[in-house]
Amino acid sequence: MLSRNITRLLALAVGATTALGLGLGLGLGLGLKKKSDSHNASTTSRTTYWKPESGTTWDYVLQNPPKLSSTNESIEVYDIDLFDSSVKLIKDLQDDGHKVVCYFSAGSYENWRPDADNFTAADLGNDLDGWKGERWLNISSPSTRSIMISRLEMALEKGCDGVDPDNLDGYDNDNGLNLTHTDSINYIKYLADEAHSMNMSIGLKNCGAIIDSVIDSVEWVVDEQCVEYDECDLYRPFIDQNKPVFHVEYPKGDTVDNDNSVNGSTYREICGFKAAQGFSSIIKNMDLDYWIESC
């Protein structure tokens, strides 16, 4: 969601039955109590988590959940909002041959989310610059982590193939909580262990400064605007491990959202950027609606 100064895993062995494996996974996590030990059949049938390869195609649609009439057969992965996307939508996308990654903010409080009242005031930091209604979170807090486990369980129950936890780079922002690189590294590894225990994949979001410390814990990275900020080299270790770099640029800026193609020179600059070769690169409106140009 953040498009500047931004940027996320050990699979638990599954036992003789999938239900047992799921129960073991849900029992872990720094002693935090899980909300539920039972999940629908579409998720408990998994025996491992999805591991996409570099070059996997994708689209990023957060403004509204995508409708099947607007999907593209050439797109292998849809990254959509966890809260706004229904079980039916996710299943329909999967039945149509797509993988579904479910987005949620793991590092910020959003005052419009249905679980917003579950956060404690002591865990809220400064406002996120440019994002009304959002504040940085204490990502080491047991309370925050318990809420995120509930979100992971929601993703599992809805049938998401993986999760895209955002805003884990508080260390690189005026967060008001003294968040550090180590805080984010530990938190990402914690979320990864929990997601894997539920047989879901998980990705990193930006966080270029800590890639070396977490790359072995995640299956991909979502990178925003590395061409604009000339930092694509930071994400090449994912390509070296045959993991996707889901790369998006917003060349129209934050005040223009339309269905017009970008001009030829802009397209060539983004899609021909040397350090981004091998990335799964797309061009989007900043509001992440249905419009897309793929490289």
CA torsion, ordered 128, 132, 134, 135, to nearest 10 deg: 50
How many angstroms separate the CA atoms of 295 and 286, rounded? 17
pLDDT of 29 above 80? no
Q: How many domains does the chain have?
A: 1
- Over residues 222-237, the pLDDT tens digits come to 999 999 999 999 999 9
CA atoms within 13 A of residue 50's CA, in its CB half-sphere: 23
Mean pLDDT (the chain, rounded): 87
Distance of CA 287 to the CA centre of its chain: 16
Would the pLDDT of 16 be above 90?
no
Q: Establish if 224 belongs to a structural domain.
A: yes
Strands 108-110 and 134-137: antiparallel
Specify the CATH number for the domain of residue 126: 3.20.20.70
Residue range 39-95, pLDDT digits in tens: 443 444 577 999 999 999 999 999 877 776 678 889 999 999 999 999 999 999 999
- And the tokens for 91? 């299943």
Residue 22 pLDDT exceeds 50: no
H, E, C per residue of the chain:
CCCCCCCCCCCCCCCCCHHHHHHHHHCCCCCCCCCCCCCCHHHHCCCCCCCCCCCCCEEEECCCCCCHHHCCCCCCEEEEECCCCCHHHHHHHHHCCCEEEEEEECCEEECCCCCHHHCCHHHEEEECCCCCCEEEECCCCHHHHHHHHHHHHHHHHHCCCEEEEECCCHHHCCCCCCCCHHHHHHHHHHHHHHHHHCCCEEEEECCHHHHHHHHHHCCEEEEECCCCCCCHHHHHHHHHCCCCEEEEECCCCCCCCCCCCCCHHHHHHHHCCHHHCCCEEEEECCCCCCCEEEC
4 within a domain of the structure (yes/no): no
Q: What is the pTM of this model?
A: 0.84
Q: Is 45 contained in some domain? A: no
- Tell me: pLDDT of 268 over 90: yes
99 is a domain residue: yes
Q: Which residues pair with 137 in a beta bridge?
A: 124
HSE value, Cβ hemisphere, 13 Å, CA-based, for 101: 30
Is position 77 within any domain? yes
Antiparallel, parallel or unpaired: β 201-205 and 220-224: parallel
Confirm whether 257 is domain-assigned: yes
Q: What is the mean pLDDT of residues 281-295?
A: 96
d(CA 187, CA 137): 12
Encoded amino acid at 168, one letter: L
Provide the residue range defining the domain that includes 113.
Answer: 18-35+51-294
Residue 256 has pLDDT above 60, yes or no: yes
User: Looking at residue 43, what is its pLDDT?
Assistant: 46
pLDDT at 15: 36
Tell me the sheet residues that pair with 59: 78
Q: Is 199 left (phi over 0), alpha (psi -120 to 50) or beta?
A: left
Is there a domain that residue 41 lies in?
no
Least confident of 68-72, 154-158, 215-219, 242-246: 68-72
